[in-house]
Amino acid sequence: MTDTNAIIHFAQAFHHGEAEQHSYVVAIGSRAIVEALARAEHARLRGAYGVAIYRTSPDVATQDHFRLVGYLSSDMGEKWTCSQPDESQQAA
């Protein structure tokens, strides 16, 4: 049985914000660690990649159960957005 209170965070780097070009997972784990590793990877990449930080639950289909919680844009200045409705809308 899955603990519904469990949360996993992960960071994914996208080449200039384009998932079709090249992307990879930077880190998976607790929010503080994932955010720190995302910032370090973003700095290392020097603007060529944007890094999105998501949260999800374990043992679910991530593509259906994720939430964007932060984005470090590439040097192109894109803004990554979450296509899912706000959690407050889902609860209504």
Question: Is 89 a residue whose pLDDT tops 50?
Answer: no
Question: Domain extents for the chain?
Answer: 8-91
Whether 25 has a pLDDT exceeding 50, the answer reads yes
> pLDDT per residue over 27-79, tens digit each?
999 999 999 999 999 999 998 999 999 999 999 888 888 899 999 998 888 77
CB contact at 8 A, 81 and 68? yes
Q: Which of 54, 59, 60 is nearest to 19 (CA)?
A: 54
Query: How far is the C-alpha of 11 from the C-alpha of 55, rounded, in Å?
Result: 9
